[in-house]
Amino acid sequence: MNNPIVRKVVAVVAGLIVAMLVVMLAEGAGHAIFPPPEGLDITKPEDQARLMEVIPLGAKIAVVVAWFLGATAGAATAMVLGKEAMPGWIVGLVLVALSLFTTQMFPHPLWMMAAAVVLPLAGVLVARRLVASRMAA
């Protein structure tokens, strides 16, 4: 890929795919460790409204850890493929937006809404440190 614009677009798309896969895997692991309580149907609005009240703290932590891990892996992928940090920041900002969107679907604790912003951005910073030697100088 000699065209820098194409390289950056491909880097962002690949980073987003990696990020989504990691988030899905990490959240899936969290759901396996902390299954939803019996009788809870998250397709019902009344159950969605009380979801955060009835799931354990570990389940909530698993979700925010998934946001961090997804952003880290996705940003690292984008930075390596794009050969600079900017594609990774785009991936991180998209994950912030998606995480915030998730917190608006039904009530989340304030600390999770803050984590929806802070952790994906922290993931980008970690990714940048991890792949700094693989980006163009």
For residue 50, the model assigns a pLDDT of: 78
Q: CA angle, 11 as apex, 9 and 14 as ends, to 5°? A: 110
Per-residue pLDDT of the chain (137 residues; tens, 9 = 90+): 688 899 999 999 999 999 999 999 999 999 899 887 787 777 777 777 777 788 889 989 999 999 999 999 999 999 999 999 999 999 999 999 999 998 888 788 999 999 999 999 999 999 999 999 887 65
Considering the entire predicted model, what is its pTM?
0.89
Q: Which residue has the tokens 């608006």?
A: 104
Contacts of 27 (CB under 8 A, 6+ apart): 62, 63, 66
Question: Where would I find the H helices in 2-56?
Answer: 4-33, 45-54
What gap in Å lies between CA 67 and CA 59, rounded to an integer?
Answer: 13
What gap in Å lies between CA 108 and CA 2, rounded to an integer?
Answer: 45
For residue 125, the model assigns a pLDDT of: 97
For residue 51, the model assigns a pLDDT of: 78
What gap in Å lies between CA 8 and CA 82, rounded to an integer?
Answer: 5
State the chain's maximal CA–CA distance in angstroms.
55
Q: Where are the domains of the chain?
A: 4-134
For residue 47, the model assigns a pLDDT of: 72
**First vs last Cα of the chain: how many Å apart?**
18
